[in-house]
Chains A and B, each alone.
Chain A
Amino acid sequence: MWGRMRRGMRKLNETPRDRVGLAWRDELAVDIHIHLQDIDCLEILADREFRASRQRIAALRELARQVPLSLHSVALGLASSEPVDEKRLARIAELTSRIEPDHWSEHLAFVRAGGFEIGHLAAAPYRPETLEGTLRNVERARRVVGSLPHLENIATSIRPPGSSWSEEHFVGQVLQGTRAPLLLDLHNLYANAWNFGRDPVELLRAMPLEQVRSVHLSGGCVVRDAAGVARLVDDHLHDPPDVVFDLLQVLAANATCGLTVILERDGQFPDFSAVLRQLALARAALARGRERPPLCRSAAA
């Protein structure tokens, strides 16, 4: 009995194992290889590898053996009442079998409907019919790929017309129905809070934090529309703002599992020393969050 209690107490006192890394971009390849010892994990954009050569796939597979690799998909359109794109799903399945990543991920977004290609991630109406379609699509993806994707919240400048639920309720319902892990993009969350006049910490706490397994950090900028209304756009071209690291700290204080944290950048790449500084900021935020006692962690989850 005492042994079991000691093991239980040790479990309570253990700090979950977090990993901090970044999204692979070819522009950063040399620096990533040079600094691989400072990078715990990497994320590959799946859609860019659909036509990859055999040599490149072999290199990615080798990379996946050196460092935990996640395969990130952007165009399946899982959060939709329309069926998921089967051709893309088959390509994802093929890539996962060839590269053997740690896990794969996709957005809670729709990207096409009725033959109209949006070309990017859009929020479908948060309503029961979309939920039903999303549950079907995620299950289909699980069957074809062989594992559940980590599902990512998206940024949206428009509250999806026809919504009868809040974003967090929709995300919660999807995760409850699929049991999929949540990939929580903290800048997407911050952008939505900013654009819809909400408190980002409150929005964070309303998410199903017990299912968060991975995190995205990125940056954006404020732009004004023709009428002068300011909006925060998640563009992946700027450094993550301080508030994103503050949110990571709050998340770490409330998450019970280890987190895989990925820094995303799609252009206007800074000197790699700045990238490494941002990874250090993420590690520091995680450490501050993990210092909080377990009771505080579970209280807000």
Chain B
Amino acid sequence: MSEALEILLARLYSSPLEAERFLEDRAAYARAAGLPDEHLQDMMAIDAGTLRFTAQSFEHKRRRSPRAGP
């Protein structure tokens, strides 16, 4: 169950655009991504500003230092 949550988080953290799409309609995005209902509340509770900042911060770090890349 935690695996589905990790996959969704990785998807959001790997692209600020995906994070924005998620924030437009969290429940629909999460369900479409295969997140079990038990984790839906966790995703609904995310602070939008913090998620945007986090996704952009990862984007910035990837550009500056691709040290953890594939």
Contacts and interface: CB of A to CB of B under 8 A. Distances in A.
Interface of A: 45, 47-48, 74-75, 80-82, 110-114, 116-122, 124-125, 127, 129-130, 133, 156-158, 160-162, 225-227, 229, 231, 233, 266-267
A118 B10 contact: yes
Interface residues of B, number: 34
Contacts of A80: 6
B10 A114 contact: yes
Interface string B1-24: 111011101110110000000000
Contacts of A156: 54
A161 B46 contact: yes
Given A161-B42, A162-B39, A114 B50 contact: no
Contacts of A74: 67-68
Given A110-B10, A122-B9, A161-B42, A75 B53 contact: no
Per CB-CB distance, the 8 closest pairs between chain A and chain B, nearest first, are A114-B7, A129-B2, A113-B10, A116-B10, A119-B62, A113-B6, A162-B42, A75-B68
Given A113-B10, A161-B9, 15 more contacts: A112-B10, A113-B6, A118-B10, A118-B68, A119-B61, A119-B66, A120-B62, A125-B42, A158-B46, A158-B47, A158-B50, A161-B45, A225-B49, A225-B52, A266-B65
B27 interface: no
A233 B57 contact: yes
Contacts of B39: 162
Contacts of B57: 157, 233
B46 A225 contact: no
